[in-house]
Amino acid sequence: MADQGLVKETACAVVEKLKAGDVTPLDLLDVLEKRIAEVDGKVNALPTLCFDRARSHAKALMQKPVGERGLLAGLPVPIKDLTAVSGVLTTLGSPIFKDNVPTKSDILVERLEQNGGVIYAKSNTPEFGAGANTFNEVFGPTRNPWDTSRSAAGSSGGAAAALASGTAWLAHGSDMGGSLRNPASFCGVVGLRPSIGRVAQTPKFGVDRTLGQQGPMARNVEDLALLLDAMSGEHAADPLSLPVLPTSFLSAARSGSKPKRIAYSPDLGITPVDPEVKAVTRKAAERFAEAGAIVEEAHPDFREAHECFHVLRAFDFAISKAELLRTKRDLLKPEVIWNIEEGLKLSVEKLERAEAQRVAITARALEFFEKYDLLLAPATIVPPFPVENRYVAECDGKKFDNYVEWLGIVYAITLACCPALSLPCGFTASGLPVGLQMIAKPRAEAQLLAGAKVLEDILGVRGTTPIDPRAPKA
């Protein structure tokens, strides 16, 4: 009988057990199936399970010598329900695709399987990943394991809630306007948006769409680096994809390499932030001084971020979903309809202006990183909010114009083409997690992971997950 205590082990430790022959991939699937039956009903993180497919993949993997089973050696991984897995229901969180079963997997999934990942579930996501609260008409809402009356954020909310509640050791997600970073922050786990092209994906609707990137989620920095290693690499089908680096991200995370000069910004100069979130993230950032780093308050100039992201996101929605608006409008949620219509109204002049703004933002960020090794800021501007709220309508007295504006602190970094992660850095007075956003210059994931591991060691928050889902406090 497989040991349920494995649920609490790190992914790196479980992979070592797999490589040593102490457990098998089939044992791990048994552990997960039991854990999901026990806790997932309370959070709804993994609405689609594919254990039969997973076991047949595990058995095929076990025919190979242990040393040939890839980086993950048979470790199970869930895939976000926006990404195709062959033979598995892939709904994109939309009633339009409630019966969609792809015949071919995304190249990201194929790469994970080649590297020894075993796919056993699809994690919940908002419709088409739109909006940073994970709910949809197909499967309903995903709840936050720390307080099941609260949102897990999004759009990789199912992935984050699975990690926090112990139904996954590692999880795949994606990020356009913070969709790996927001749920990591709300659920007390780690989520990384990599540089453009670090993780190859099957192009859809355009070969050069760069706002959205695929990335890893995990409970700690080392596990995160392990999954990034298993996801990375170039692929001919993705012309933007980058080759594997000579040094693994896991070894970079473990290098002990310390940043010399750090910048912290409570708001990147562009957004209101809840005072408690500011206080928790500032205190965490200042602790970098214990590693000998100089910590100063500074940030690049992001003044055009809201206008720029609004236009480029709307354009992306138009090219990817205009056909659905024409043919299935009655099945789309209002926020998605609004986003597509905003895109269809755009003039070439507006696009020209937005693209020029993105170039300028990226150039200023690069100049900033000539002085600073890392930039730190809150990963979300509020603590986890009630799950019934579709989005954050106001913060610290400021009302927002639309359902994505509250995400400015993360989408500004998307525009700057920088890799960024959310690291658990503390808790609110009511015991809800707060994430610190850590940002490096483009393609500097190794430096980012090394710095994150240094701060993770100082903060001592690692190991607070997984938890049994908690009902709201009376």
Annotation says 104 is catalytic:
no
Q: Specify the pLDDT at position 473.
A: 79
Q: Specify the pLDDT at position 474.
A: 67
Q: For residues 271 and 404, what is the distance between their CA atoms, to the nearest angstrom?
A: 12
Q: For residues 176 and 209, what is the distance between their CA atoms, to the nearest angstrom?
A: 10
User: Is the separation of the CB atoms in 429 and 126 below 8 Å?
Assistant: no
Q: For residues 112 and 132, what is the distance between their CA atoms, to the nearest angstrom?
A: 26
Contacts of residue 214, Cβ cutoff 8 Å, sequence gap at least 6 = 83, 108, 172, 173, 174, 194, 199, 201, 231
Return per-residue pLDDT of the chain as tens, 474 residues.
Answer: 579 999 999 999 999 999 999 999 999 999 999 999 999 999 999 999 999 999 999 999 999 999 999 999 999 999 999 999 999 999 999 999 999 999 999 999 999 999 999 999 999 999 999 989 999 999 999 999 999 999 999 999 999 999 999 999 999 999 999 999 999 999 999 999 999 999 999 999 999 999 999 999 999 999 999 999 999 999 999 999 999 999 999 999 999 999 999 999 999 999 999 999 999 999 999 999 999 999 999 999 999 999 999 999 999 999 999 999 999 999 999 988 999 999 999 999 999 999 999 999 999 999 999 999 999 999 999 999 999 999 999 999 999 988 899 999 999 999 999 999 999 999 999 999 999 999 999 999 999 999 999 999 999 999 999 999 999 976
Q: Specify the pLDDT at position 2.
A: 75
Token look-up 């994430």 returns 435
Half-sphere exposure of 223 (CA within 13 A, CB side): 28
Kindly state the tokens that stand for 7.
């649920």
Annotation says 248 is catalytic:
no
Q: Specify the pLDDT at position 379.
A: 98
Kindly state the tokens that stand for 426.
């503390």
Q: Specify the pLDDT at position 131.
A: 86
Ordered by start, the domain boundaries in the chain are 4-459
Quickly count: other Cβ atoms within 10 Å of residue 211's Cβ: 17
Q: For residues 192 and 173, what is the distance between their CA atoms, to the nearest angstrom?
A: 9
Cis peptide, bond prior to residue 155, ω within 30 of zero:
yes
Beta strands in 82-146 (DSSP E): 118-123, 143-144
Q: Are strands 420-427 and 433-439 parallel, antiparallel or unpaired?
A: antiparallel
Task: Read off φ and ψ for residue 97, nearest 5 degrees.
Answer: -115, 25
Q: What is the largest CA-CA distance in the chain?
A: 64
Q: For residues 338 and 344, what is the distance between their CA atoms, to the nearest angstrom?
A: 10
Q: Buried b vs exposed e over 62-77: b needs ≥16 C-beta within 10 Å?
A: eeeeeeebbbbbbbbb
Kindly state the tokens that stand for 439.
């940002």
Annotation says 174 is catalytic:
no
List 123, 155, 165, 195, catalytic entry: 155
List 17, 80, 122, 321, catalytic entry: 80
Kindly state the tokens that stand for 321.
């979903």
Tell me how far CA of residue 278 lies from CA of 111, 267, 294, 376, 434, in angstroms: 39, 8, 19, 11, 10
Nearest to 77 by CA among 230, 274, 298, 278: 230
Kindly state the tokens that stand for 170.
């590692």
List 151, 179, 185, 265, catalytic entry: 179
Helix/strand/coil for 106: coil
Contacts of residue 51, Cβ cutoff 8 Å, sequence gap at least 6 = 29, 33, 120
Secondary structure letter of residue 72 according to DSSP = S
Nearest to 74 by CA among 156, 8, 169, 189: 169
CATH class entry, domain 4-459: alpha beta
